Structure formats: C-alpha cells, structure tokens
Amino acid sequence: MENQKHHKVWFITGASRGFGRVWADAALKRGDKVAATARKLESIAGLKEKYGDNVLTLELDVTRPEQVKTAVTQAHEHFGRLDIVLNNAGYSLVGTIEEASADDVRAMYETNIFGALAVIQAALPLLCAQGGGHILGTSSNLGHVTLPVIGYYCSSKWAFEAIHESLAAEVKAFGIRVTIIEPGAYATEFGSPESLKFAAGLDIYADFKAEFFDGLRSLERGDPNATPEALFQIVDTENPPLRFFLGSHNLPWVRTAYAERLATWEAWEPVSNAAQGGSK
C-alpha cells in the first residue's frame, strides 16, 4: 500500500542514459508510471519490455518544439495526468571561451535551455488545468560556480537556474511546484562522447586543457544509483525545496564561492555606494 500512496505519473526527458535512465527505472520500480522520452526510441525499449503498461516510451528531440508539444500532450492523455515533469536532457560543450564558435554555443543552448523551455511551456497549461504538479529540472552545482574549459556549459546552467527561480514565483499560485536538482560529479555517462561535444581546439590552450582534464580524472564521483531515494523524498514532500544539491561535495564548494563573492562586494562597497549618486 505504501507504493500506492505515493503513486505518481512522471514525464522524463533524456531517459536513455545517466540520471534520466536511473530515475525512470527507479520510479517504475516503486510502482509509479512514467512517460520516458529519448531521441532514439530503441534506447529506451528495454523499459517497455520490463515495465509494460506502466511506461509510455516516446521519441523526442527537445530541440523540436512541435514534437515536444505532441509528446507532452500524448503523455498527459495516455495517463490522464502528469504529476512530475522532469527536464533532464542536456549535454556539455568542451572548449575555452575563445575556442567555441557561436554555432557550438547556440546548439548547446537549443538543448539545455530552449529544449527545457519547450517542455515547460507545453506542460504548464495541462498542469494548471489539473490543479497542480511538480516541475523538476536537472541543473548542476555548476549553476552556482564555474570551471574553465566548460564555461559555456556552466553558463547554460546559470541561465537554467534563473529561469526556474522566476518560474517558481510565477506558478506557485496555480499549485505548481518547482525544484532545481543540482548534482555534483557522478559516475554517469555524462562524460561519454554522446554527452559531450568538443569545440575545435587552439594550440595555445593545449597545455591548460591537458592539466584541467588530469584534474577531472582524479575527481571523486558519486554513485548515480544512490540518488533515487533523495529524488523521491523531494517529490513526495508537501513543501519541496526550490534548490536541492545532489551529493556531498557541492555545499562546501558553493559556500566558499559565495563567501568570496560577498567579501569582494563588501570590500568594494564604498566605491559602489559612491556610484549611487544623490544625497549622502
């Protein structure tokens, strides 16, 4: 009966691998229903074979708004409602600020930002009409701090964070809740060729990037299979947080970064105040 009590209907993008696959599988295991989407239907066929009618598998390229609208509507009609809309599709662009072309950056934003927006905008009328729902977005601790070489990816997550924070205030009155999931480093397929795109390199950055990648290789990564219970606590609580760090390394890093920012702003406060003008 416990599973029945928490029975929910999910719509998940990027369900073929990484967190999307782990979370789709875990939700189905606990008795929830899932509309799982991926660019290639065969990549999620295993879910259908395993879970039967509890899963609806849909081909979806989030960069195609009409396909997004069709998939969201189809999922809603199939299950009768959508409780959780989880934007998980995304990839990282590898390249320094100088190296990456505008086309490289634009393509990444089409998936990471505009793809997520298409899903949100397609889902909102349905969630409003049914009296509520929960929008989840997979961001990153890099939505608060940055690393070199993947600065454009970081920038997409900073934009993702701002959009969801504004959204949360706008839809609260409609009973719609918003949570930004912010993972640290995990041993998912996110570092695979399918989840990374590389900008054309410039020789002057070769040594810097080699050192950067050496550092990444020594990074301790979390176990993605340890994450579903945390996600379930978020979606099952009456008052979910707007932001949630996934993993133990994020908070110390972000705490340090914000302390440094505050210290800089405070050090320059007299100059900032003088620039206000007006009466003293």
Catalytically annotated residues? 139, 153, 157
- What does the alpha-carbon distance between residue 172 and residue 228 come to, in Å, rounded to a whole number? 25
Cα(187)–Cα(179) distance, rounded to whole angstroms?
22
CB burial readout 261-272, b (16+ within 10 A) else e: eeeeeeeeeeee
Strand 9-12 relative to strand 84-87, pairing: parallel
Q: Which residue has the tokens 């889902």?
A: 123
For residues 130 and 234, give the distance between their C-alpha atoms in angstroms, rounded to a whole number.
20
Helices within 57-145 (DSSP H only) = 65-79, 102-109, 116-130
